[in-house]
């Protein structure tokens, strides 16, 4: 018997773009899927069906066996059964019972926490089993190449909301693989413009990046896509963010050089946030690479000039994905110098205090790994402070 449950189809090397919904201005009831990777299980000889498949915080593409063994016994008027799944050394068991002479229904959630390069596999299983047996299935999971888009903006920039709206369109198209950081820097972010533009969105990191990459000097709104040099220029106009991201997805797809996992532990009373960032090398690498970790807050409601609005001074404008500051330095810290072997994992721990002004439920931690020489980002990831 074969049963395949496809959560998202993946054409060869290309990211399917219909897996994730656009997130409107922050909704607490909406669940993030930023830590979820999709694939399928082909049960082959294992009886039953699978649904709700998730690969949680996995580092590595998977194509391996899922082993299932089940045992049915009858005593008196009752049949009892167990099914045990094994995957990369992790095990999970479901139990069930029923009248003697009828199939035993086994169902429930199966969570296999391998804990290493393959992370955690979770799925809902249901099967009617009459006799004992053991079979193998095939598990296929995907690790995606994510793209980081930096949207350089300012509250006094009347054209900048167009870029933000375009970024939201691309996020709807590409889902959680499309990570946006709104960087308020340069003249249009200054507070010298007077009331009502007195709130200061600027950060040390954003100001330094803007200076080093010359974004606002080129005119806002503008930005960068993985800080990649494209046609001789690192600065990318906002209408091209999506197409350039698509080019990166097509090139890297489910074959990135590295992947990232973030674990956040936030204490509401103290406002302390402990962050663990694990970076996995998926291919042998040579060079110098740095890890940058940053705090971002979504849905910050403040004044914004918007030439498409009437009146153009918008009091309750929702600022998206606002950079709030760096966690491990403006340009992060070095994690690879020289050669790094595939399947090695680099773990970094950080502890910060989140400002009382920031809404912790709206905050994300964004991590990027980039080549120190070229500045190009080879992988990025984001995780909510509070899931």
Average pLDDT over every residue of 284-290: 97
Reported as a single tens digit per residue, the pLDDT across 207-257 is 999 999 999 999 999 999 999 999 999 999 999 999 999 999 999 988 999
Q: Which domains does the chain have, with CATH numbers?
A: 39-141 (no CATH), 147-384 (2.60.40.10)
Distance CA 34, CA 21 (A): 11
Q: Indicate if the alpha-carbon torsion angle 19, 25, 30, 36 is positive or negative.
A: positive
- Quote the pLDDT of residue 32: 31
Which residue has 């001074």 as its token pair? Answer: 313
- Quote the pLDDT of residue 253: 83
Q: What are phi and psi for residue 245, nearest 5 degrees? A: -65, -40
Q: Is the pLDDT of residue 17 over 90?
A: no
- Quote the pLDDT of residue 38: 67
> The tokens of 180 are what?
């946006």
Q: Is the pLDDT of residue 12 over 80?
A: no
Q: How high is the mean pLDDT of the chain?
A: 89
Reported as a single tens digit per residue, the pLDDT across 331-377 is 999 999 999 999 999 999 999 999 999 999 999 999 999 999 999 99
Which residue has 């402990």 as its token pair? Answer: 274
This prediction has a pTM of: 0.85
């Amino acid at each position: 018997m074969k049963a395949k449950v496809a959560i998202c189809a993946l054409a060869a090397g290309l990211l399917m773009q219909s897996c994730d919904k656009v997130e409107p201005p922050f909704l607490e009831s909406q669940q993030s899927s930023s830590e979820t990777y999709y694939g399928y299980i082909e049960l082959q000889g294992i009886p039953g069906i699978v649904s709700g498949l998730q690969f949680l915080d996995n580092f590595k593409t998977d194509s391996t066996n899922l082993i299932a063994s089940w045992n049915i016994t009858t005593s008196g008027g009752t049949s009892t059964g167990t099914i045990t799944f094994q995957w990369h050394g992790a095990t999970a068991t479901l139990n069930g019972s029923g009248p003697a002479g009828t199939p035993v229904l086994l169902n429930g959630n199966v969570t296999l926490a391998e804990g290493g390069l393959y992370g955690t596999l979770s799925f809902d299983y249901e099967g009617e089993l009459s006799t004992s047996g053991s079979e193998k299935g095939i598990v296929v999971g995907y690790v995606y190449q994510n793209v980081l888009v930096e949207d350089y903006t300012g509250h006094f920039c009347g054209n900048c909301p167009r870029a933000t709206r375009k970024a939201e369109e691309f996020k709807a198209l590409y889902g959680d693989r499309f990570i946006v950081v709104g960087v308020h820097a340069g003249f249009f972010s200054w507070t010298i413009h007077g009331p009502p533009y007195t709130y200061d969105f600027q950060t040390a990191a954003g100001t330094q990046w803007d200076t080093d990459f010359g974004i606002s000097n080129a005119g806002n709104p503008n930005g960068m896509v993985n800080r990649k040099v494209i046609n001789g220029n690192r600065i990318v106009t906002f209408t091209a963010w999506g197409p350039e991201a698509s080019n990166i997805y097509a090139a890297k797809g489910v074959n990135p050089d590295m992947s990232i996992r973030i674990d956040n532990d936030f204490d509401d009373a103290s406002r302390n946030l402990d962050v663990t960032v694990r970076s996995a090398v998926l291919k042998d690498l040579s060079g110098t690479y740095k890890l940058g970790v940053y705090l971002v807050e979504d849905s910050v409601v403040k004044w914004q000039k918007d030439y498409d609005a009437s009146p153009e001074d918008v009091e309750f404008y929702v600022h998206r994905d606002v950079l709030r500051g760096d966690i491990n330095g403006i340009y992060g810290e070095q994690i690879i110098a020289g050669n790094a072997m595939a399947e090695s994992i680099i773990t970094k721990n950080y502890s910060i205090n989140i400002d009382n002004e920031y809404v912790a439920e709206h905050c994300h931690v964004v991590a990027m790994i980039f080549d120190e020489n070229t500045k190009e980002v080879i992988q990025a990831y984001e995780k909510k402070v509070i899931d």
